[in-house]
Amino acid sequence: MVSERNLSKNVCVIGAGPSGLVAARELRKEGHNVVVLEQNHDVGGQWLYEPKVEHEDPLGRTNVQNVHSSIYASLRLISPREIMGFTDFPFVVKTGRDSRRFPGHRELLLYLKDFCEYFGLREMIRFNTKVEHVGMMNYPEFGKDLRWIVKSKEKESEMGVEEVFDAVVVATGHYSQPRLPNIKGMDAWRRKQMHSHIYRVPNPFQDEVVVVVGNSLSGQDIGMELVDVAKEIYLSAKSVDVSEGLSKVISKHNNLHLRPQIDSLHEDGRVLFEDGTSVVADTIIYCTGYSYSFPFLDTKGTVVVDDDRVGPLYEHTFPPSLAPSLSFIGIPRKLIGFPFFESQAKWIAQLLSGKRTLPSWDEMMQSIKEFYRSREVAGIPKHNTHDIANFEYCDKYADYIGFPHLEEWRKELCLSALRNADINLDTYRDSYDDSEMLQEAYQSSHFTHLGPEAF
């Protein structure tokens, strides 16, 4: 529902990564007063590479990570740059920078810095400021105004600040809190165990026998990177039925092996796999994904994280009892992130200004229950609740706020990259056959509307 009301709110955005930056822009565009609290010294969130991980818990078993970014030195994008830009700010090649279609992580950080400068967002951001507590001033009644107390601390001065906001947007990302498997003997295994959260470079694994747990993209990337330094690499996957691309890579390297899941770990260094084979390993690297974590947030149990299902959340964004004064941006995974974050940000901004309204509490809760039921029927585990992998959902979401649907070229370039990676895992970032769709992209308004002087 759309109305012409325009109520200016004082809004706190937590995090200055991609989702936090676009949230700040859309909130300000809608007339709100915005403060962005960012724990690091610069924008970028996950894309702000941090090489120093010496003091981080190797398995990330603490509730709060000292290092936010999980990016390793050699990481390159898994999607072509053309599909990743916000709708009105394309991710174009710039002189003197990484011009590859699948560039390294620093190129995306520079894009986010460009976005920040172009739209004048830095003035809203307080850097080196860690949020320690977000809580309700008074327990809400649905539909009544709710205010939030936000306590933060500045890194250098250690000075604590307590402020009151009309609304809070949580944009802290979802690739920082390691998710670990539960393996028999894991606590007794005396050799080196670490989560990929703190993997940065291959050098420390020289001449080692390494078991990489998890057949995710990061597990495959790290496995392929280790072949030149490690003695042996065992890639432990849930299924030995792997993609054509991974099979090709394994056949090229005598020291890269595929194994099923780990059955148990033993004090003498043995790693026993479910097929009965075993190896004596020096290091185990868990590439087993990440969990959602909001240690600063106190909603009196209204919002909980249950086996990586954050909820209840209406459309992955609003807890019905606290909406729209509390919202989450960037929760969904396995989608073309930047345009989706932008649509979330616009919806949040317009709901806070009164331009749009949400359905009733009952309708939102019913929608959430139906969504959960559909996931169960489809056999999708609870911890994959927010893995979307569906263009239609993105377009349905966009319809709530009159946001444009994903362009066909954006969808096709995404699918083309996924298909190519499935067949040519080690070369898909540098060898592709999508030139026709690429020309369509370059001729679209996404790339032409700002004119060459903007870039």
Full DSSP string of 28-65: HHTT-EEEEE-SSSSS-GGGS-----TTS-TT--SSS-
Asked if residue 454 has pLDDT above 50, the reply is no
For 239, the 3-state DSSP assignment is coil
453 confidence band (pLDDT: 50, 70, 90): low
Topology of the domain comprising 10-43+121-177+291-406:
FAD/NAD(P)-binding domain (3.50.50)
Give the predicted TM-score (pTM) of the model: 0.95
- Give the tens place of pLDDT for each residue, 401-412: 899 999 999 999
CA angle 292, 294, 300 (to 5 degrees): 120
Is the pLDDT assigned to residue 103 strictly greater than 60? yes
pLDDT average, residue stretch 73-94: 96
pLDDT in tens, 297-335: 999 999 999 999 999 999 999 999 999 999 999 999 999
- 192-286 under CATH 3.40.50.20, yes or no: no
Note the pLDDT tens digit of each residue in 223-262: 999 999 999 999 999 887 889 999 999 999 999 999 999 9
Q: Which pLDDT band, with edges at 50, 70 and 90, does 145 fall under?
A: confident
What whole-number distance in Å separates Cα of residue 159 and Cα of residue 368?
40
| Alpha-carbon gap, residue 51 to 106, rounded angstroms | 13
pLDDT tens, 164-177? Answer: 999 999 999 999 99
pLDDT over 90 at 124, yes or no: yes
- Total count of residues recorded for the chain: 455
Name the CA dihedral angle for 367, 372, 376, 380, rounded to a multiple of 10 degrees: 120
Is the predicted pLDDT of residue 2 greater than 90, yes or no? Answer: no
In this prediction, residue 240 carries a pLDDT of 77
Q: What does the pLDDT look like over 51-77, one tens digit per residue?
A: 999 989 999 988 777 899 999 999 999
Average pLDDT estimate for 274-296: 97
In the chain, % of residues over pLDDT 90: 89
Q: Across 255-410, where does the E strand assignment appear?
A: 256-259, 262-265, 270-273, 278-280, 283-286, 290-291, 297-298, 304-306, 309-311, 326-328
Residue 125 in this model has a pLDDT that exceeds 80: yes
Give the per-residue pLDDT at 241.
81
Predicted local confidence at residue 239, as pLDDT = 83
The answer, yes or no, to whether residue 265 has pLDDT greater than 50, is: yes
pLDDT at 46: 97
Phi, psi of 179 (to 5 degrees): -105, 130
Q: How far apart are CA 40 and CA 69, in angstroms?
A: 10
Q: Omega into 312 within 30° of 0, i.e. cis?
A: yes
| Average pLDDT estimate for 407-436 | 96
Do residues 195 and 277 touch, judged by C-beta distance below 8 A? Answer: no
Given a cut of 60, is residue 399 above it in pLDDT?
Answer: yes
Alpha-carbon distance 358 to 325, whole Å? Answer: 12
Look at residue 157 in the predicted model and tell me its pLDDT: 85
Instruction: Please check the confidence at residue 429 and state whether its pLDDT lies above 80.
Output: yes
pLDDT at 452 over 70: no
Note the pLDDT of residue 450: 65
| Cα separations in angstroms, 222 against 252, 275, 426 | 16, 23, 12
For the cut 80, the answer to whether the pLDDT of residue 5 exceeds it is no
Q: In which residue ranges of the chain is CATH 3.50.50.60 found?
A: 10-43+121-177+291-406, 192-286
Residue listed under structure tokens 């970032």:
429
**SS3 (DSSP) at 272:** strand
> Cα 41–42–43 angle (5° rounding)?
145
- Indicate if the pLDDT at residue 296 is higher than 50: yes
Mean pLDDT of the chain: 94
Range of lowest pLDDT (61-70, 108-117, 276-285): 61-70
